[in-house]
Amino acid sequence: MNKILSVNNIVKIFHEPVDFQVLKGISFNVEKGEFVSIVGKSGSGKSTLLYLLSTMDTDYQGSIEVNNVDVTHMNQNELASFRNEHIGFVFQFHFLLPEFSVVDNVMLPALKLGKHPKEVIHDKAIELLKLLDVSGQENKKAALLSGGQQQRVAIARALINSPTIIMGDEPTGNLDSQNTHNVFNIFRQLSKEQGQTIITVTHDEDFAKNSDRVIELVDGQIIKNG
């Protein structure tokens, strides 16, 4: 198997208002094409863990490797560049730029990365919107789309740089049951057909149990991994 993520003995301590250890020696691996859900009650440490995996927070003990690259001691500029190329984000709220067109929103991370000409990025954005069933909406302002459509556009944006991992923070938390089902099916398709690795934090038990693997946290420790 092709190991995409390796998490080794992660310890995270918050220091304000008093010292509090939120993650207590977390270790696990994720393989290429796996669809993993991280679950746990509020305060279990799951969102903190995702924030560390995403390289947005670097104040921890232990080590994290993404695609065989140790990101633990990278500086902020190196991490920003690495993140843009290797990690796609899907949040509970889509964070689209409302006055930009749909296709411009999708193109933004690739334009920032600067690896391909604008025309190539545009063509890929159109293909992703087609894959995610948002064809015909390309030139609309993002604000004019429904909530479900906006989240699919956010997934397209997350995919534009062909990331090593898509990380989702409650990606269906703001959607009704039908759109939750649609987003799950998109992730499932991306995992099975495209070999896309996906890690989501979710409160949705049905969403979690239908993914490939569930990692459950209680009080900053893994109590289930399978």
pLDDT tens by residue, 91-115: 877 778 888 999 999 999 899 888 8
> Domain range holding 80?
3-225
215, 223 contact by CB (below 8 A): no
Query: Mean of the pLDDT values across residues 79-93?
Result: 86
pLDDT tier for residue 71 given thresholds of 50, 70 and 90: very high
Q: Please count the structural domains in the chain.
A: 1
* Predicted TM-score (pTM) of this structure: 0.88
Looking at per-residue pLDDT, the higher value among 147 and 11 belongs to 11
Q: How far apart are CA 96 and CA 153, in angstroms?
A: 8
First-residue to last-residue Cα distance in the chain: 16
Pairing of strands 20-31, 3-14: antiparallel
C-alpha to C-alpha distance for 138 and 57, rounded to whole angstroms = 34
Residues 120, 101: Cα–Cα separation, whole Å: 17
Sheet (strand 69-70) strand order? 20-31, 3-14, 61-66, 69-70
d(CA 12, CA 220): 9
Rounded mean pLDDT, 146-174 = 87
Q: How far is CA 26 from CA 33, 72, 141, 144, 216, in A?
A: 21, 15, 42, 42, 11
| Residue 215: band (very low, low, confident or very high) from pLDDT cuts 50, 70, 90 | very high
Region of poorest pLDDT, from 36-40, 140-144, 196-200: 140-144
Q: What is the mean pLDDT of the chain?
A: 89
Share of residues in the chain with pLDDT > 70 (%): 100
pLDDT band with cut points at 50, 70 and 90 for residue 214: very high
Mean pLDDT, rounded, for 143-153: 87
pLDDT attached to residue 204: 87
- pLDDT at position 162, please? 85
Cβ count within 10 A of residue 63: 15
What's 57's domain CATH number? 3.40.50.300
